[in-house]
Structure 1
Amino acid sequence: MAKKYKGSCLCGAVSFTVTGFSDRAANCHCSMCRKFHGAAYGTLVGVFNLKWLTGSFHLKEFISPNGAVRTFCKECGSSLGFRVKGAPLSEMELAIATFDEAIPVEIDAHIYIDYKADWCKLQDNLSKFGEGRVV
């Protein structure tokens, strides 16, 4: 049986499990991620087998002008994840800070650094991309 990694929002109304993670996880510096997460960047990772355990009715979505869908808990406001326009809820990239336990994820890049906050200094050896990741 595959290991399950559990996560939740701040108030605990929404909880979920996944069975694995993408091998690519990035700190996104776009202005939407910065505002959505209330931080210098949002750190998101693709997941496998996302299952909502509790509170899926507490999920609320904000659709940005470019069609990206940002999902949060309508009770506590926790930023839960992001998905591209037209993608189903099951294909959401989750904010890694929402996991309740250690997860086997290593951040490998900074993306959209052309939009980063001027007060944020990138002092690490991660790959850096001005826009999205170059594949």
Structure 2
Amino acid sequence: MSNIQGKCLCEAVSYEISGQLGAVYNCHCSKCRRWHGAPFRTRASIDVSQFKLLSGENCLSTFKSSENVTKFFCKVCGSPLHSTYADRPNVIGIAIGALEGVESKPEANIFTASKASWYEITDGLPQYKSWPGSEAKVRETNE
């Protein structure tokens, strides 16, 4: 079983993920864009049992971004780390940018209906207006 290490920018918060990541997506929703200050957030889901905080519990802070989602970040450096979901208590959403040694690549662009107007998606991945499986693709891959 593989272990993936993650940490914030100042390295006060560190954690470990055991096993495989779930599907990796580039999320273009407006909340992810604002949270990361970028055109999208690359993220994956894992089971809560895969996540182990190694250090920095006292440096973690939270923000309830909606009734369903709580965002965790380092209160020292501000790094976005992970999300939890009230309607799916066994799932953690992981920000891939905080991880070391990830070999998984994004499978699709999601929530493209609210993507930044100034950003053009050119990676050739499938695009979905919301979660994959909940609707048809916006655009097929170029393959």
State the shift of 1:94 in Å. Answer: 1.0
Report the Cα distance in structure 1 between the residues aligned to 2:52 and 2:29, rounded to whole angstroms: 27
State the shift of 1:84 in Å. Answer: 1.8
Larger Rg: 2
For this pair of structures, how many residues does the alignment match?
A: 132
Q: Say which structure, 1 or 2, has more relative contact order (CA 8 Å, 6+ apart).
A: 1
What TM-score comes out, normalization by structure 2 length? 0.84
Check the 8 A contact 2:22/2:46 in 1, yes or no: no
RMSD value, Cα: 1.7
Match of 2:98 in 1: 98
CA deviations over 1:44-97 (Å, ceiling 9, x no partner): 112351100001221111112342111101111000012222544x73211111
Q: Unmatched 5+ residue regions in structure 2? A: 135-143
Report the Cα distance in structure 1 between the residues aligned to 2:18 and 2:51, rounded to whole angstroms: 7
CA deviations over 1:19-62 (Å, ceiling 9, x no partner): 12334110111110000011001111123511000012211111
Match of 2:58 in 1: 57
Check the 8 A contact 1:21/1:105 in 2, yes or no: no
Q: Unmatched 5+ residue regions in structure 1? A: none
What SS is found at the alignment partner of 2:21? strand
- Identity value in percent: 33
Check the 8 A contact 1:34/1:40 in 2, yes or no: yes
Superposed counterparts of 1:26-37, under 5 Å:
26-37=25-36
Match of 1:19 in 2: 18
Report the Cα distance in structure 2 between the residues aligned to 1:21 and 1:63, rounded to whole angstroms: 27
What TM-score comes out, normalization by structure 1 length? 0.88
